[in-house]
Amino acid sequence: MAANLQKKGFALTVHDINPAAVATLTELGARAVGSAAEIAKASDIVITMVPGSPELRAIALGPDGLLANGRPGQILMDMSTVEPQATDEVIRQAAARGITVVDAPVGRLSSHADRGESLFMVGASAEDFQRVRPLLEAMGTTIHHCGKAGTGIRTKLVNNYLAVVSCQLNAEALALSQRLGLNLEMTLEVINGTTAQNGQLRLNWPSKVLAGDISPGFTIDLAHKDLTLILNAANAARVPMPLAAVAREMFSLARSTSYAQADFSAVADVLCEAAGIDKPRLANPTSRN
C-alpha cells in the first residue's frame, strides 16, 4: 500500500521494525527514519498499520509516540484492525492535542493491496475525509465513508465476522462433501448457483486452499485475533454471538497447529486432517481464478 502511494507521486517518510519493508520503499524513493516520533515530526498526515491494539497504543500514545511528537492540524489515519476502544482512546487523546483521527481499516486481500485495489471503511469528519481521500484513491478502488471517526473499525468488525465465520461454514460443508464422496467441482457449481454461495467460497477459495495454495493472504492467527475483537465488542454491546464463539474455538485449534501462519482458508485443511478426510482440491483450479 505504501509502495502504491510512493509510485503515484506522494512523498513518503517511512518507518517499520522490519528493515526489508523499509528497504523496498526506499528503493522506490521514500525517505526512511528510525522512529515513530520522527514520522510524526515529518508528516502532515501520518498513516499507521499495525497488528493489534497494544501496538497501536504503543506507537500512538507512548511518550516517544506519534501524538507526543505531533502538532495541531495533523491527521493520524490508522488502518489497523483493532479494538474499537483503542481507536476511541486515540481519538480522545489526539483531540486534546489538536490532532484529528481517521480510522480506515482495509477490506479485500493482500493481492488486491499489491495492485492498488483495496477497499476502505473510513470513519472521519467530512473535512478529514476529503483530505485523506486522494491517499485512499492511490491505494484502493472502493472507499466507503461510514461516518464519524470510530465507525470505520466498527464496520470492519462486522465485515470480518462474516468473512471469517463463512470460512468455518465452508470448511464444514466441504469436509462433509468429501466424506460423502461428492465431486467437488459439481458441488461448487451447485452452491454457487444458489443462495448458499458466499464470497470466500466463490472468489477466494478457488485460488487459495482449493488450489493447494495456503500461503497467507490473511493468516489463521489474524483471523483468530479478529474473532476475539468481534466477541469482545459484542460482549461490551450486549449482543449474543454464539456462532462467532464457536468459530473462534475452531480457529483456536487451528492456530495451535502448524497452520497458524497459513491462509485462513486453510481452516478447511485443519478440519479435514482432524477428521481423517481428504483435503478438498480442484482438479483445474486455474480456470476458477
Find the catalytic residue in 7, 8, 41, 156: 156
Closest C-alpha to 226, from 137, 157, 131: 157
> Residue 117 CB: number of other CB atoms within 10 A?
15
- Of 148, 128, 139, the C-alpha closest to 76 is 128
> At 284, is the secondary structure helix, strand, or coil?
coil
Q: Which of 176, 143, 148, 152 shows the shortest CA–CA distance to 271?
A: 176
Phi, psi of 106 (to 5 degrees): -110, 140
Q: Is there a catalytic annotation at residue 279?
A: no
> How many CA atoms lie within 13 Å of 204's alpha carbon, on the beta-carbon side?
25
Instruction: Give how far Cα 184 sits from Cα of 122, 142, 191, 263, Å.
Output: 38, 33, 10, 20
| Enzyme catalytic residues | 156
